[in-house]
Amino acid sequence: MAVYVVSNNLYLQEGMTALIRSTGTKVIKAGIHDLPFDLLSFEDIIILHLSPDSKNYARIISSLNRLTKLMVVQTSMNLLCCHADHIINAKDSLSNLKQATLNLLKTIKSKINDGPLLSRIENIIINYALA
């Protein structure tokens, strides 16, 4: 399991890194374009900081959320409403940030079943019965 902290704000990135390291977890500071997308798994965690300067990250959020556990730290809550495992305000208290981080570390995420839930014959039987 790897924890990546992605932010343009150096102070927030260092603060989140120190907060997560206090739990005994290894943290990797990275840029959004430096993430190893082909090596990411459901075990990995990405903490992504969104600010008005980094609005272009919004395009990558949905793909990251399908690959990993994702927490979005926003500068203002009305900046973006997106699909992520956790969304938190950067101005929240230290205890709230720590609790959200611990919850994210405990979260178990599994792959969504993309295939059909029923076989072809079962679908035919159900469609015939409902007709």
Q: Could you give the percent of the chain with pLDDT greater than 70?
A: 82
pLDDT at 95 over 70: yes
pLDDT at 3 over 60: yes
CATH topology of domain 3-130: Rossmann fold (3.40.50)
pLDDT tens sequence across 28-62: 998 877 888 888 888 888 888 877 666 666 667 77
Q: Say what the pLDDT of residue 79 is.
A: 54
Q: How far apart are CA 52 and CA 74, in angstroms?
A: 9
pLDDT tens sequence across 71-89: 888 876 655 556 777 888 8
Contact (Cβ atoms closer than 8 angstroms) between residue 107 and residue 43: no
Q: Say what the pLDDT of residue 128 is.
A: 84
Residue carrying structure tokens 């005994």: 24
Contact (Cβ atoms closer than 8 angstroms) between residue 110 and residue 42: yes
Mean pLDDT of all residues in 109-131: 75
Predicted model pTM: 0.74
Q: How far apart are CA 19 and CA 119, in angstroms?
A: 48
Q: Could you give the percent of the chain with pLDDT greater than 90?
A: 1
Mean pLDDT of all residues in 98-116: 76
32: tokens are 């959004």
